[in-house]
Amino acid sequence: MQEKKRELGQMICHASRLFRRQMDQAISAAMGADADEVFSGRNLWVLRYVKEHEGEAVYQRDLEKAFRLRRSTISNMIDLMVQKQFLARGPVEGDKRLKQLLLTEKGEAILSEVAHSVGELETALRGQYTPEEYAAFFALLDRLCNSLELLSNPCERKEPEKTNG
């Protein structure tokens, strides 16, 4: 019997879908009565980023770089999070055109509600692998992401770095 051909894109989509589903369940469980409030894993990552950079000015472009997402995607996310009052846009001293992103009380509360549950999910997944496997997995994911980004930006195309092994 011939071995079934495995498609990389299909496996990545499948793993992403399963991970998102688990994240959504963890978020819903943590939010309890507030579960009807639409909140996603991406929202959590944005709130976490803003919280981790408290005391620093955080701008949309910082999120674009940190999450490797397009300007329009981040802009739509921020608009929705401001509308839901998870984030606020605040003035920047010295430049009235710029608006920094600020964590609201509601955003802070939701972050504290769901961060622990999602952290438990990530810890459980991490526990399925040895530290070496986990490090290798992330190294491969980084290479994959870099390769795909280079393919989408032909002007910046370089050969991806190869690792020994």
Mind listing the pLDDT tens digit for each residue in 111-165?
888 888 888 888 999 999 999 999 999 999 999 988 988 888 766 545 555 555 5
The reported pLDDT for the residue numbered 157 is 47
**Residue 111 lies inside a defined structural domain of this protein:** yes
93: phi then psi, degrees, rounded to nearest 5:
-65, 130
Q: What is d(CA 45, CA 73) in angstroms, rounded to the nearest whole number?
A: 14
Residue 21 located in a structural domain: no
DSSP code of residue 37: S
71 and 145 inside one domain: no
Q: Are residues 115 and 84 in the same domain?
A: yes
Residue 125's pLDDT is: 92
Residue 73 counted as domain residue: yes
* Domain boundaries, position 135: 127-157
Q: What is the CATH number of the domain that holds 73?
A: 1.10.10.10
How confident is the model at residue 1, as a pLDDT? 57
**Whether residues 66 and 106 fall in one domain:** yes
Give the count of domains, the chain.
2
The answer as to whether 50 is a domain residue is yes
Q: Given CA atoms 92, 97, 99, 100 in this order, what sign does their dihedral have?
A: negative
